[in-house]
Amino acid sequence: MQTTRALLPEPARRFAAWCVVFLLAAGVVAVFIWLCIVFKTAVTPVLLAILGTALLGPLYRRLLLMKVRKSLAAALTVVAVLVVVGGATYIVVAALIDTGDQIIDSLRQAANDIAKHFGAAGTSLDDLAKNAKSLLEKFGGTAASGVISGISVVGQMLTTAALALLLIFFFLKDSDRAAGALRSLAPRATGDMTEAMARRAFEAVEGFMRGTTLVAFVDAVLIGIGLVVLDVPGAVGLAALVFVTAYIPYLGAFLSGAIAVLVALADRGFVIALWVLGIVLAVQVIEGNVLQPMVQSRTVQMHPAAVLLAITAGASVAGILGMLLAVPLTAAATGVLSELRRRYAPRGGAEGPDAAPGG
């Protein structure tokens, strides 16, 4: 033992110990992500159900306060999920369908103008369109398989949605048993800590979902009003796009804002595009300095760098669905870490129970 200690100094041994801890933690996280990918058919409805429960949990609790039975309150909340999500989806899809052609034509015109301004070397958008047409004609025989694949994807989405709704019902109905279930699964000495961490994680997800939905609605309304006043084509569809992409923080606002500016540039000119850019930036300033502190003041605040890294990781693991789920999961993890830090961080003041003021 003395020989081992003599070979490695104390800092090197501490560094080696931390490396072992990091490798073990990374291995556990990697195995967990791999299992989620393998069982994504079951994991995805569970995650969506947790988000839906977090979003409309206050409605369920309000119904309970009105002396409504648990089963009926859970059923009414599921119906509310159907109405809210279905109605929002219908409005967004209808708006994008009605104004999608205008938006695409304006984007194509903007691309042509940019290509002419910067002088595309050797290739034009017409050439790209001709090449795309030839590729479609060449591989047109695979259209039937593409249609079948699309039908399969739609069926899978409907099955996932139905299972998520059923899970929301049971999550709400049996929410009072969640603490007991966690305590029964956790070791006896860590039951209180496990319950506290789970509560903090769910509170973080709940705050994120409610806050993001409200902020997305306000952003879409303000930007939509600005686009209508400036007579930008496809204003309703662009506002719907702002609402949907708001669930991807920072990156979603950049994408929807860039599309709105390009559409205004193509159809209304450079001055109107600058006005649209000003409106988008003003709304983002209001969101960052007024809406976010007011709406999410009681939730876990995440650093923008952590959010962007989470979105990138989610996109690499599960595409668009991963981008949407990455931030709520990061909020939950941040809530767990904050609870651990609150419990195990050294207390300020005296260094020990017998410490006395020096003199």
pLDDT digit string, tens, across residues 95-150: 666 666 666 666 666 666 666 665 544 445 455 445 544 544 444 444 344 444 44
Euclidean distance between CA atoms 276 and 131, whole angstroms? 34
Average pLDDT value for the chain? 75
- The residue count for the chain: 359
pLDDT digits (tens, 9 = 90+) for 288-324: 777 766 665 555 567 777 777 888 888 777 777 777 7
Percent residues over pLDDT 90 in the chain:
3
pLDDT at 297: 52
* Rounded CA separation 218/59 (Å): 21
Looking at per-residue pLDDT, the higher value among 155 and 337 belongs to 337
Per-residue model confidence (pLDDT) at position 23: 93
Alpha-carbon 279 to chain mean position: 24
Nearest to 327 by CA among 239, 218, 335, 297: 335
pLDDT of residue 141: 47
Dist. CA 229–CA 337, nearest whole Å: 46
- pLDDT for the residue numbered 186: 74
Confidence of residue 176 (pLDDT cuts 50, 70, 90): confident
Confidence at residue 24, expressed as pLDDT on a 0 to 100 scale = 92
Rounded to an integer, the average pLDDT of 147-165 is: 69
Q: Which of 274, 281, 225, 236 is nearest to 257 (CA)?
A: 281
More confident residue, 165 or 84: 165
**3-class DSSP assignment, residue 234:** coil
Q: Is the pTM of this model over 0.75?
A: no
